[in-house]
Structure 1
Amino acid sequence: MRIKQVEISGFGRWSQKKFDFVNDLQVIAGQNESGKSTLRAFIIGILFGFPSKKSNINVYDPKDGSHYGGSLIADFNNTIVKITRLGRIKSELTITYLSNQLTIVDPEKWLTDQLAPLNRDMFNSIFNFSQQDLSKISQLKAIDLQKLLLNIGAVGSSGWLEITADLEKHADKQFAQRATGKRPLNIAAKQYKENSHLLLAKNEEMIAYASEKENIVRQTQIISQNYEEVRKLTRRVQTSQTVMQQYQLYQSAQLLKTKITASVPPVADADIASLQRLKIGIDMHQNKISELNTLIERTPQTIDIVEKYDATSELAKIQIAERHLQELINQKSSIMADEKRLSDRFLNKKVPELLSSTEQKILINKSKSIITILVGIFIGIVAFFTVKPLVVVALLIIAYGCYLFHSRRKLLNKIQKRYNMMSLADIELVQSNIKQFSDWQHQLVALDADILEKQNKIMAQLLPIADHFQVQLNDDVFEAVIIELMHINDQQHMQAQNNAVMIAQKNQQILTEIKQHQEQLAQQLSDQQNMLQKYHVLNEQELLTLKQNYVDHIRNKQRYDDIMQQIEPETMNKLQEVSDEKELSQQIVLLKNKLEQKQRTGLNLQAQLSDMQAQQKQRISDDQFLTLQQNLADEQTNLIDQFGDYIAEKMVVKWIDQALQLATQNRFPKMQHIATDYFKRLTSGKYVAIQFVKDDLNLIGRSGQKYRVIELSTGAQEQLYVALRLALSSVIADIITVPILIDDGFVNFDSIRRQTMIDILQEIAKKQQIFYFTTSFSHTTKINVINL
């Protein structure tokens, strides 16, 4: 892989910045705080993902508020792609082939496959190092430096070396190899030895006890053998039972699979709740209308109306008209909200015009120009071998196809600019919304006319009533005026009417309430019918049944998925071959019978051992011996546990060292020749060879003298480390080739060795791209340098 270009949208101090790179050695020079490390972190972030703040490292938030992320153009074996990552918290990865502008469907998997087997940690351990890594060398102890260099071929070995150091330090605090050691295990071992001698002294007097003890030991061994057989049989029974359980799970999964084949339409919980609310409202309105009708029938009627002017029914009509007016206003607000949501999708808040029929044809006819070009090429080839004058015709056809192609691209770019650079697929999808936007505008004009008409009508109806009651009208708030007029009308009725008038007023109020309930009932019945038609059912019970069927379908599918996840893939293949559960059950029964027989034998042996131990205890009458025996057993148990932990820690240290050495030695034969050449050149021929002998690393001088790593100077140690790292990168390049990133890695090198190092990097860069970040750069050879 070679990186050709980096374009940063926003990352640390960089914003809207583009860098073009060469394919070999790319030097990036700049003073401190000029953005070198930021650029290096950006390249790693694009390839392996941006870090999160939870990792407690610099996430390089843009200083000027630019959009986080950017893109990188890379060449993967002559396949040039553009890798784009935008956003830090929810990073969005997009990979596009530059040859045909096609976008990769699963970019994360594609990029992981291209970089495999590398991950971020492996990349940093092999292809990415800085002066900070070299500075650590001077702070290491001699033995730690030796281990670091020996295990440099094992990726991630530094973390394991820290673990082994901690384990060995803890183990040495517990036990000392010398006889005069005063550490906990030394003291415990000495105490155990003294108590053992005391127990042996008393044991000489108990010959019968010793003889029986041997019998108990033999009996214990027999019991142990029986226990081991029982344990093996138990494991076989458990394994068979597990297979049986998985077989039953498999059968259950197959049964569930037959149930989930048919599709069941989903029913939203919100619709169920809405239908139930409508049913409650319908029942309430129907009951209320029935109660009000009964109340009217039972109320005595009168025609003794005293009031000369009654505006109740007129105000009721005006109130209904005002509600209709409010519904129109709400409908207008809803349409305006839909318009706003559509316009918000565009940067300038302006909805573009619909595509013309010509633009739509051009958008749909993607391959017309290509087909024309291919036809021209075909005719040209045929004409070249037959009638050569027709080649001119073929060239005209090809030219016409190119003209169509460029014309279409030009028009497509014009359309995309009009639609704020939306993708062509999104432009096609948004056409229906733009057409609907035009319909909304016509609806708004009609609604405005209806609203104005109804407002004028209500105003005309309210004006004589308001004049009669001497109430000032408000053009904006009709509801409050209507309520006020009705209130005044009611007060005048109460003052001007007797009990008969009050009855009539009450009847009128009941009729108004009935009408309101009827209107609300009609609306809710209509909503209920629409809801039922939505799911193609006749009543609420059928909808609930449909909902339950959907819930059962989802549960069965989830249960099927859960069961299939519980079964191991290897077991799944075996279960598919099992045709009869009976034979498997018979095997389990036979194993259980054999296990029960072994368990009974074990109980009998244990009973015999208990009798022998009881008789043994009867032979021991000295309480001090029993106490000493128990104390010695406790000391033995504690000593075994403590020594077990000590030995475990020592063995873990040994195993880790051996594993790291094996991992490194697999690569050392390939690395040795390359590292020796680099180290020889960096030391001006002072050291001519690097030898790896088991767990030791030696350097051979010009005179044949052998040197250990700890005998080298700090500068020579850094040069050896760099030689091994570069050799490892070259060896790994046979598996995966990615750029090497070096950040001020040669600060402590003198001018001659730094010049030699640049020459070596140039040689490596012929096969593998290298980015060298440095504060200053000067070299006799012309090298591509980007000055920040």
Structure 2
Amino acid sequence: MELHIYGYGKLDNKHYTLSDLQLFYGENEAGKSTIMSFIHSILFGFPTKQQSLLRYIPKSSSEYGGKILCHMEDQGIVSIERVRGKAAGDITVQFEDGRVEGEEILQQLLGKMDRSTYQNIFSFNLDGLQNIQRLKKEELNRYLFTAGSTGTDLLLKLSQDWQKERELLFKKSGRKPKINVVLSELKDLEKQVKEGKEKNDQYLPLIARRKSLESEISALEKEKELLSDKREHLISVNENWDTLVQFKDVEKRLSQLKDLEFPPNGLERMNELKIEERQTSAYLETLKSKQKDLMEKLESKDLDLTLREDIPFMEELLSRQSSYLKWKEESGERSRELRMVHSKISDTIRELGLQVEMENIPSLNTSLMMSENIQQALDDQTKLLYERESLDKLQEEEMEELQAIERKCENLEQRLMEEDEYQELQRKVKALTGKHSTREQMEWVNLQVKEAEGNYSRKKASYSYQMLISGGAFLIAMGFGLWGVFSGNWIMAGMSLLFLMVIGGTIFQSRKNVRNETDTLQKLKERAKAIQPEKTGTLDTAEQSLLEQMEFRNEWKQRVLSLEEQELKIQKLQERKEELEKAIIRGEGRIERLKEELYLPSDFHWKWLRDAFAKMKELVYLYETYSHLSAEEAYSEKKVKEFTEECQGWFHRHALLFTTVDEALLQLKGMLHDLEKRRLVVENIVAELEPLTMDIEKHSIEIEKIRRDLHDLIQIAGCTGEMEFREKAMKVQERSEFKSQYKGMKTRLTQKTLDTFLEFNSLEESRRESARVLQTIDELSKELSAHQKELASLSYEIKTLEEGKSHSAILQEFESKKAELGELAFEWSTYTLAGVSLRKTMELYQKTKMPKVIELAEENFRELTEGHYQRIFLLEDEMIKVERMDGTIFDAIELSQGTKEQLFISIRFALIQSIGDKYRLPVLIDDGVVNFDLARTKAFLSLLRKVARDHQVLFFTCHPHIKQSFTDEEMIVLKRKESIRTS
């Protein structure tokens, strides 16, 4: 992982290369918190003005942001860059294959994790190590659940908000909540409604039946709820059947071993007595053997004092034996190290192709200035090459556009007339326009003729139809008129005459209309004949040609302007490309000078310069190591040679055989021992015999006492021999182990699950019972649905009876209140069901994930406290408890501040380890061991390295004693005012 800080807070243009376990060491205000915030901002966005987080906008730089280079599985090296832009900054995610993405891909890479989740799980400081001791089991479970799912306390807050909303709606003993108020009003209305219904005989049986149905529905719902609880316990039994069987076997075995009688610590006491017996017997045998040896020495020859004068020299040689062995070992070790370092130096020179001799390695320039020059040269050259590639693509696109414009211009030029032809066409169109009428006039007159013909046809058809009808009506009226005249009915005769006159007037008007249409049509046809178009085809063709030429000329002028603009654009691109080529050549010359200065071959690829420079720094360090080791080897060989010559000279002076220094020193030691032994034997042998005899008698008595104690111990245990005693001790120990196992399993299993398990003899019976319960639940659901339908129908009948009664107004208000109560109850049930769902989800989390987290936390806690605390307990409705090594149980609040923080770190690391397969994100810790002593700080650092196997760990501190536990490669030293140095 690498950090490139363009500008963030007081950090400006900084670059850090990070290892899997990286220590940031520095004083206060050296930049530790700034770097920690920088990582958060690059991954999750800059804090907005509305947020309370510090924004770290640089004061002395216009650049704001930076990038992180990291290695991801299946993706390779990924660059995440965020700079000043929109609210959270502009993000660029670039992959190793050159693909560039944005914020959405970054969220996928982070597993949809937000800033708050990350800071609650993977990033913490002293502020986060507080108040863990006050959490009870349920609260800790909820804490771990929310930390594992959202990383915040949003779910806890949401649950509390739901509870407040429920209490605002309903309280069992409350008067002000909405449901309580509506229930009180509803009871009064119900009383009034009942009083009005008592007179209705049909109403009362329906009410009774409804109550019966409600009672049956309530009973069915209660039975269904009980069966649902039973099914949950059966599911738990089926899932934990093997554990429950084991629990039953342990309980049975404990009942078999409960009547054992055995002395306290009996086996330990026997072992101590046996050890004491063996030690005393061995010592007694030693005393007897010494007594025998002393007696034999009394009869040995006198002392040989030939070499008495050389004793000081011999002792002095033997006293220098350890120094000789040290020099010899150091010489061999330095020789091996020299060969290894020389091999590394040769491999590095060969790998880089350096044109430098080994003795000239110190002359290599590995300064920070050279590193900065290489970085700047490579960055500049990369940018220039990328810009040239972009210009090439852009120039190619612009050339294609230019060619397209040229082709269009050529096409237009081929279709344009010569200027003389164009002028002649203009004169021709003008002349033809003055001589002839337009086509539009002729078409308009023809349209008028067609319209008049249509009107004439319709009028004529209407006149014929009207004549037919009028003729029939005329005959009928004539008949009625004649009948009236002959019968003397003059009214009928007058009406018939009047009707005949109307028919005659209608026929006359229709005939006149037809004649008018005929005259109009004749006039229009005469006018159409008068308008005779003369050679209109010639005029139309000339006008069309003139219009086309005018359009071609206008389009040609636009294309020519576009062509000039495109040529100017390409010319500017070519000038920029020439400038880039010159800059690239200058950059290549700069890189060649750097390669010459670093003794690199000319064909060495410039992209590898950064890696080569790092290897050169390592090469210089290896050469310094080689020189130091050579001097140490020469010194050790010189000391070994001097000691060998001195020892060999003494042996030659005394005519003794000298083979090797080691054998000679053994001979000298034997000589001194013999001389000293022979001198002291005679003086000490008599003085030693008397107390030796007394010791022999004393220890013989002690052995007899130990054997009596062993016999008494076996008798107390009710055993006949040692073998039977030990077998009984093994059974007692087995009983203790079973008790511990029983206690642990009892903690993990609920009593209801155990009771349910004892009802069955096999897993198959439990599964059959679970299936039967499920079937019963289905049957109850069907029966419940039928009763609810009947209740709905019955309620409708009651409502029908209630309508139109004298108490209708009261009943309407009563039903309105019932509806209001239903809505409030629905709202209350919504919050209740949401809370139940959240609780069940957390219980499921507790059953599946919580044991693994607690197991990992116990392992971490044992390591942090050096085995002083063994277990962590989470009992129902109790605070966190821990068990000390001696079996004493403590509440977390009773622990010291340092131990409480170690407990929290153990749980936090357990959570990180439990979700490590899904989120492999870096862990950030800011001074988390302030209250730890030296031993537990070392244990914490050991656990930190264990976590660093699966997660990159960045540890920030200002304490020097922590710095000593990290190598130079694992440490970055930050300074308050001076430039930051990367170690």
TM-score, structure 1 as length reference: 0.46
TM-score, structure 2 as length reference: 0.38
User: Which of the two has greater helix per residue?
Assistant: 2
